[in-house]
Amino acid sequence: MDIIEQKLVVQEWPLRHVGDNRLFGYLVAVGLFPCAAVPGGQFAFADFVWKDTYTRYRVPPQLELTDLLTGWLGDCMYEHTKGGRTNCYLFMELTADGHAVLPLKGGPP
């Protein structure tokens, strides 16, 4: 068994302006986290892993973004369950029409 000890710091969602983009890494979790300090008592989050870094982002309350993240993770889990190889990393950009998944030039890292 591997034990990973870490302090998890929740970061704000980094794509705020049209044209912002980021290679987030592998999407490993999407969910709701209880937190009495926020309205409604919980916030949506998405967790990513890239190399030796595990990052949790607070997901803004945008239905299209929630659908994109949960759909992406669901598709990756489906492919994994079928025995296929899946690339669950996300390279995203905020466009005028919302969030978009971008292809990585040259294929997977």
* pTM attached to this predicted model: 0.82
Domain count, the chain: 1
Question: What pLDDT score does 7 carry?
Answer: 75
Residue 33 within any structural domain of the chain? yes
> What does the alpha-carbon distance between residue 16 and residue 92 come to, in Å, rounded to a whole number?
12
For the chain, the first-to-last Cα distance in angstroms comes to 27
What does the pLDDT read at residue 104?
A: 64
The sign of the dihedral angle between the CA atoms of 59, 60, 64, 65 is: negative
For residue 107, being part of any structural domain is answered with no
Q: Is the pLDDT of residue 98 over 90?
A: yes
Q: Quick one: pLDDT at residue 35?
A: 85
Structural domain that includes position 14: 10-101
Asked whether residue 106 is assigned to any structural domain, the reply reads no
> How far is C-alpha 43 from the geometric centre of its chain's CA atoms?
14
pLDDT digit string (tens) for 27-48? 999 999 888 888 889 999 999 9
Is pLDDT of 1 > 60? Answer: yes
